[in-house]
Structure 1
Amino acid sequence: MKIAVISDTHGYVEHCIDALVKIDDIDLIIHLGDYSKDVKAIRKAIDTTIINVKGNCDAYDFETPDDEIIELKGKKIFLTHGDLYRVKYGLNDIYYKAKEINADVALFGHSHTSTLIEYEGILFLNPGSPSLPRAGTSKSIGLLYIDDNNVRGEIINF
């Protein structure tokens, strides 16, 4: 299974859509907030299921959850924007949340910089931002690959 992971589009979805259409065989798209309304534009451009959570800039979106836990191919995946877990200051809070819920993967955004690490059996992936990267990073999205026995991530810079 190939999952595209995006975050922090902030109303600028053109580059994100351009990057996504170049990737073959996407089974699912996950949007991790900061402009959950961008999901509508992405849905119009790409015929793929999208799951999303809201970010700190989505205060008036009362329909989208802050966090989500999904299970795909037997792997538990925790979705959050990251602001509620203070990811700009480190990964301690999100690590303990992922550990508490027995997650195999924790997906988050908020910092606009990509992160891909595995720690104590949990894969932590922040796709960065396809629109407004920070700290000298490139525009980016993430890919998550899941098969029956394995989970791995990748950051695509563009």
Structure 2
Amino acid sequence: MKVLIVSDTHGHDENLERAVMMETPFDMLVHCGDVEGREIFIEALVDCPCCIVSGNNDFFSDLPREEEIDIDGNKVLVTHGHNYGVSMDISGVAEEAKSRDCDAVFFGHTHKPVIEEIDGVLAINPGSLSYPRQHGRKPSYVLLETDKDRKMSAEIKYL
């Protein structure tokens, strides 16, 4: 299974479109929030299931605050992360995922990509395709794949 993980597009879809074109085909798109009203466009852009959660800038949104999804037998918590203090430390969001028996947590908010295993939980932040904040400030996303044993592996990709 191949999953495109993005976050913090903030209503600017050009780089999202580029990432989708570069990585197609994939089996699922996960957006970790701050779509700013573009969820219908994002769902129409891809030909696969989407999981989109609300971020701190998704005012008046009907999007869920977080979701638990299945990725090839792996339980994953998807959240924006701002309610778990991810700007200071990502251990809180990983702890929340572990308390729910999740194998992984996908989150955004910081605009800085990270892939880290914390206490048995794979923590993934794809960064931002619109307003990157990490050193070098390259727009980023994550490509996650599962192997024949359903083990997840993830890679940060840059535009």
TM-score by length of 1: 0.93
In structure 1, list runs of 5 or more residues that go unmatched.
none
Q: Which amino acid aligns with 2:120?
A: G
- Aligned equivalent of 2:56: 56
- Aligned equivalent of 1:153: 154
Q: Does the Cα contact within 8 Å between 1:31 and 1:39 map onto a contact in 2? A: no
Hey, what's the Cα distance between the residues in 1 that align with 2:36 and 2:103? Answer: 24
Q: Which amino acid aligns with 1:117?
A: E
Alignment of 1:33-72 (within 5 A): 33-35=33-35, 37-61=37-61, 63-72=62-71
Hey, what's the Cα distance between the residues in 2 that align with 1:79 and 1:92? Answer: 15
| Percentage of pairs with the same residue | 34
- Aligned equivalent of 2:129: 130
Q: CA deviation at 1:112?
A: 0.4
Q: CA deviation at 1:35?
A: 1.8
Q: Does the Cα contact within 8 Å between 2:80 and 2:107 map onto a contact in 1? A: yes
Q: Does the Cα contact within 8 Å between 1:107 and 1:126 map onto a contact in 2? A: yes
Q: Does the Cα contact within 8 Å between 1:78 and 1:107 map onto a contact in 2? A: yes
Q: CA deviation at 1:36?
A: 5.0
Q: Which amino acid aligns with 1:156?
A: K
Deviations 1:105-135 (A, max 9, x none): 1000000010111122211100000111014
Q: CA deviation at 1:37?
A: 2.3
- Aligned equivalent of 1:97: 96
Deviations 1:4-55 (A, max 9, x none): 0010000101111112111132100001110252222223332222111100
Q: Does the Cα contact within 8 Å between 1:123 and 1:152 map onto a contact in 2? A: no
What secondary structure is seen at the aligned counterpart in 2 of 1:111? coil
Q: Which amino acid aligns with 2:55?
A: G
CA RMSD of aligned residues (A): 1.4
Deviates more, 1:18-27 or 1:40-49: 40-49
In structure 2, list runs of 5 or more residues that go unmatched.
none
Hey, what's the Cα distance between the residues in 2 that align with 1:24 and 1:51? Answer: 17
Change (3 A) 1:45 1:95: closer
TM-score by length of 2: 0.92
Q: Which amino acid aligns with 1:28?
A: M
Q: Does the Cα contact within 8 Å between 2:3 and 2:30 map onto a contact in 1? A: yes
